[in-house]
Amino acid sequence: MRKLTTLSAIILCGLMDAQYCAPAFQYGASSNMISNVTFGSINNASTMNSSTAPEYEDFTSISTDLIAGNSYPISVKGPSSTFPSDVVVYIDFNQNGNFDDAGESFFIGRLAAANPANAFTIDSTITIPSNVSGGSKRMRILKNTNVSAYSDPNAQNSINSACDQGLRAGQTEDYTVNISGGSSGFPAPYCGSENITSLTVSEISKVEFVGITNESPIDGNSSVMEDFTGTVFNVNRGSGYPITVTGGTHGQATVSAYAYIDFNHNNQFDADEKFNLGYLDNSNPVSGHESGVTSETITIPANALLGVTRFRLVKAYESSSWMGTLENLPCPSGWFIGQAEDYTINVQPENLSTTEVSKDASKGIKVYPNPTTGSVTIKMKEGLEKYEVYNISGQKLSEGNSGIVNMSNLVPGIYLIKILTKNKNITTEKVIKK
């Protein structure tokens, strides 16, 4: 009989997990409900009537489509009568009927106290792990008042789990998210050659970048995509680096080279993450092969995320003919004549801060006044060869060789001045334009 009772308890618990347990609030929803959730295509407003708002609302019939590896903004709105409220989002990524696994919870933030008519909104971002399998997943929004946060803004989160039974006042809302699983890619999680329908491999034979040279065969036997992610290029925000690409051209003048760098770490190559390196010039630098070379400079944006990320180099024949439109794309597709190579790039902070440059006695460089309302003066011992002015996104705005840099036509903000001395030393100065 005892064995039967134990078995029954196990089955009952399993059924409860499958149906997702619900948290418990001491004072119900009261005046602390969730009034709006915006996430992906979800934009759901719910009741703000204190007398009718339930502790739990099932909105699983409302869904949004997401892609593994991508990041999505989320906004949660709601009143919080006397005390601030914590908001946590849970997503059952592995579809095991609970939200208890690592990586399935996201602390969105804390809503300040307000009545329903003046409710605040908090905004955050949720990144879907790149290794999540595809399918429909349960998403839970959980809001709870935090008494400790009334007197201590740094009080810890008051929500311990998606099924917390000791909550004070708030609400739970459940939704559905439909996730398209991450591609195995080349190598994962980036896209590979899966969308190429017709293929001619035309190889990259040499890449020279930040003091590293990588050479590979140009014999027609290489893969269309080569994995060199073990090669790491170390760069600094706001700095420019020359790159030279050598490879097969097969006598064509429209063989282009592009670099694609995932600066925002979203596992894909966005439109503002590409660098046109030009067309290979058919100079035939590889003996016995029809090949060319091109050189350009890659400037690392000042707002690039720090750390390692993917660097993809694509060499492709471009044309518009009976074959259709052939172009250089970060994810080769259709009829592709060329080759792609993947590397790793490690983005580090700017070389020197304003303070460090001003105190660098060995180079004797000073840029003043900083902040400025108009021009700045570059003073140095070595002599100035050239300066370049960049905005915070890494776009070059101007250059010159005078010791006076005119910034009067620039809008207020933060800018980077890259300085090349007569002795070929390079430093970067951060300047504030008022």
Per-residue pLDDT of 255-280, as tens digits, reads: 999 999 999 888 889 999 999 999 99
Q: Please state the pTM of the whole predicted model.
A: 0.47
399: how many CB neighbours lie within 10 A of its CB?
A: 14
What one-character DSSP code corresponds to residue 364? T
User: What's the rounded Cα separation, in Å, for the pair 244 and 308?
Assistant: 21
Q: Judge contact between 330 and 420, C-beta under 8 A.
A: no
The predicted pLDDT at position 267 comes to 83
Strands (DSSP E) found in 68-185? 71-78, 85-91, 105-111, 120-127, 135-145, 170-180
What is the residue-averaged pLDDT of the chain?
86
What's the start-to-end Cα distance of the chain, in Å?
81
Q: Judge contact between 207 and 91, C-beta under 8 A.
A: no
Q: Judge contact between 46 and 34, C-beta under 8 A.
A: yes
The predicted pLDDT at position 79 comes to 93
Strand 255-261 to strand 240-248: parallel, antiparallel, or no bridges (unpaired)? Answer: unpaired
Give exposure, 300-329, as e/b (b: 16+ Cβ within 10 Å): bbbebeeeebbbbbbbbbbbeeeeeebbbb
Query: For every one of its 434 residues, what pLDDT tens digit does the chain have, with 9 covering 90 and above?
Result: 223 333 333 333 333 334 688 899 999 998 899 999 999 999 999 988 877 889 999 999 999 998 887 889 999 999 988 899 999 999 998 888 899 888 899 999 999 999 888 899 999 999 888 777 778 999 999 999 999 999 998 899 999 999 999 999 999 999 999 987 655 567 777 888 888 989 999 999 999 999 999 999 998 889 999 999 889 999 999 899 999 999 999 888 999 999 999 998 888 899 999 999 999 998 889 888 889 999 999 999 998 998 889 999 999 999 987 767 899 999 999 999 999 999 999 999 876 443 333 334 335 788 999 888 899 999 888 888 899 888 765 677 888 999 999 998 888 877 888 888 888 777 888 888 88
All structural domains of the chain with their residue ranges: 36-180, 193-348, 359-433
The predicted pLDDT at position 19 comes to 63
* Cβ-Cβ contacts under 8 Å for 37 (sequence gap 6 or more): 43, 44, 74, 75, 76, 77, 141, 173, 175
Hey, is 226 helix, strand or coil? strand
Bond before 84 cis per omega within 30 degrees: no
Strand 225-236 to strand 334-348: parallel, antiparallel, or no bridges (unpaired)? Answer: parallel
